[in-house]
Structure 1
C-alpha cells in the first residue's frame, strides 16, 4: 500500500503520521510544503516585490508546484491525506485527486479560521476536530493524537508548578495578562513564554505600564525547538492550554500532557465532554480566574485507564483514518462519497 501525506507542517507534528505508517510496513511519503525554499536571492526579492505591488504571493504558487512535482515523482497512491487544505488552491487539489482513488482531509482548525468550503467537494472523506463543523457539514469527528508514546512517560524531576508556551494571539494575550496578575498573588513557580513577530508590542506595553505579573511572561520572536518544549512539559506539574477565538477542538497540548501525565489548566469547556476527563486532572478556569488555587497544584495526577490512553494514541488514529486492520497490513480501503451540505 502507498500512502502520501500532504501538509504545511508548521509544528512538526505531521511527520509522526508518516513514521507510524512506515512502522506498519506501508510505503508512506510526506510532502511538506513548509520545506520549500527560495532557489535564489533574486527569487526572494521578486516575490517581495510581487506581494507589495501585485498583491500576489509567488511563494504560494511555487509551493503548490513543488507539491505536484513531488507527487508526480512518487506516482499513484492508494490514499492521500491532505491536512488543512487552505494552503492549496482548488485546481491543485483537483490535480492531487487524480493520483488516488481515495482523497482524505483532516481539519485540525475550524472553518471559521481557515474557510475551505469551496474545496470540500473534492474529498472522499473529511475528518474534523471541531464539533460545530462536524454538525454543519457532516464530517467525521476525530481528535488530535498522542504522538509521544503508547505508554505514559515517567517524569521524576519537577522544576516548575506551571508551564505554558504559545504563539502570539490577541485573545490569548488578553487572558494571559489576567492570568499573570492572578499568579503574581500566589506562590506558584511559573514559566510562561509567548512567541511571535508581534511580541514587541507586549514588551513595549510592559516597559511603559509595568502591570502586575508582567515579569512572569517571557517574550521571544523565534519559536523554541520542539524538544526543548517537551522537556519543559516534563519538568512541570501543570500545563496551560488556552484556545484561539472560535476553537472548541482539542489541541496537541492535551495529548502531550496525557503522555507525560500532567494536569491541565484550560478555558476549553468542551474538555468535560471527553471520556478521559477527570476534575483532578483538569481545571476549567472561570471568567475572573478566581478558581485557580494552590490546591490544584498540590493534588496528584489521576491515571487514566490503559484502554483510554491507547484510544488517543497515534497508532489508533492512523488505523482509524486509513482503515488499517489490526490483523492485515494492507486492507482493502473503501471511502463512500462525502455529502456536503450548507
Structure 2
C-alpha cells in the first residue's frame, strides 16, 4: 500500500504519522511544505511587493507547485492525507486528488478558527477533534494522538509541581496571571515558558507586574522542538493546558501528558467526557483558579488502563484514519 501525507508540519507532529505507517510496513511518504521558503532577501522583497500590489503570494504558489511536482515523482497513491487544507488553493487540492482514489483530511483546528468549508467537498473523508464541527457537519470524530514513547512516572524525578509552555496570547496570559497568584498562595513550585517575538517581552512583563516573574517565567523567541519538550515535562508533576479561543477539543498537551504519566491542570471542561478522565489525574479549574487544591499535587498519578491508553496512540490513530 502506498500512502502520502501532505502537510505544513510547523510543529513536527505529522512526521510521526509517516513513521507509524512505515513501522507497519507501508510505503509512506511525507511532503512537507514548511521547508519551502524564500532562499534570499530578494525573493522575500519580491513576494512582499507581489502580495501588496498584485494580491499574489509567491511563496504560497511555490509551495503548492512543490507538492504537485513531488506527487508527479511519487506517482499514484492508494491514499493521501492532507493536513492544514487551508494552506492550499482549491485548484491544487483538485490536482492532488487526481493521484488517489481516497483523499482524506484531518482538521487540527476548528472551523471557527480556520474556516475551510469551501474546500472540504474535495475530500472523501473528513476527520475532526472539534465536537461543534463534528455535530454540525457530521465529520468523523478523532482526537489527536500520543506520539511520545510511554515513560512511567516511577522512572522520573520531578522537582516542580507545574510546568506550562505557550505561545504569546493576551487571553491566555490573563488567565495565567490568576493561576500564578494561586500557585504562589499554595507555595507550589512552577515554571512558565512563553514563546514569542522580541517585541512581546515588554508586554509580558507588564502582564506580570508586581510579581517576581524572574523566579518562574522564561521568555524565548525560538520554538521548543519535540526533542526538547519531554525534558521539560519530565521535570514536573503536572502540566498546565489552557484552551485557545474557539477550541472545543483536546490539544496535544493532553496526550503528551498521558505518555509521560503527568497530571493535567486545565480549563477545558470537555475533558470530563473522555474515558481516560480521572479527577486524581486531571484538575479542571474555574475561571478564577480558586478551586485548585494543593492535595492534587501531593497524591500519586493513577495509571490509565492499557486498553484505554492504546485507543489514543499513534498506532491506533493511523489504523482508523487509513482503515488499515
| TM interval, short-chain normalised | over 0.9
How has the CA–CA distance of structure 1 residues 102 and 150 changed in structure 2, closer, same or farther, with 3 Å as cutoff?
farther
Match of 2:148 in 1: 148
Match of 2:16 in 1: 16
Match of 2:229 in 1: 229
SS at match of 2:246: coil
Uncovered stretches (5+) of structure 2, i.e. residues with no partner? none
Superposed, 1:1-342 pairs within 5 Å as 1-149=1-149, 152=152, 155-197=155-197, 199-205=200-206, 210-212=209-211, 214-215=213-214, 216-324=216-324
Cα distance, 1:309 vs. partner?
Answer: 0.8
Q: Is the 8 A contact 2:263 2:301 kept in 1?
A: yes
Cα distance, 1:184 vs. partner?
Answer: 2.5
SS at match of 2:20: helix
SS at match of 2:5: strand
- The answer to which of 263-272 and 41-50 deviates more is 41-50
Work out the CA distance in 1 between the residues paired with 2:94 and 2:154. Answer: 46
Question: In the TM superposition, what whole-angstrom CA distance separates every residue of 1:129-176 from its partner, at most 9, and x where no partner exists?
Answer: 001000100100000010113675753221211111011122211211
Work out the CA distance in 2 between the residues paired with 1:57 and 1:175. Answer: 36
Work out the CA distance in 1 between the residues paired with 2:264 and 2:203. Answer: 25
Work out the CA distance in 1 between the residues paired with 2:154 and 2:125. Answer: 37
Work out the CA distance in 1 between the residues paired with 2:231 and 2:6. Answer: 28
Work out the CA distance in 2 between the residues paired with 1:210 and 1:295. Answer: 29
Cα distance, 1:40 vs. partner?
Answer: 3.7
Cα distance, 1:204 vs. partner?
Answer: 5.0
Work out the CA distance in 1 between the residues paired with 2:67 and 2:9. Answer: 13
Uncovered stretches (5+) of structure 1, i.e. residues with no partner? 325-342
Q: Is the 8 A contact 1:239 1:257 kept in 2?
A: yes
CA RMSD of aligned residues (A): 1.7
Work out the CA distance in 2 between the residues paired with 1:250 and 1:148. Answer: 16
TM, length-normalised to structure 2: 0.95
Work out the CA distance in 2 between the residues paired with 1:150 and 1:193. Answer: 24
Q: Is the 8 A contact 1:21 1:318 kept in 2?
A: yes
Question: In the TM superposition, what whole-angstrom CA distance separates every residue of 1:179-231 from its partner, at most 9, and x where no partner exists?
Answer: 1222222211111011122533424525xx72335343222222122222211
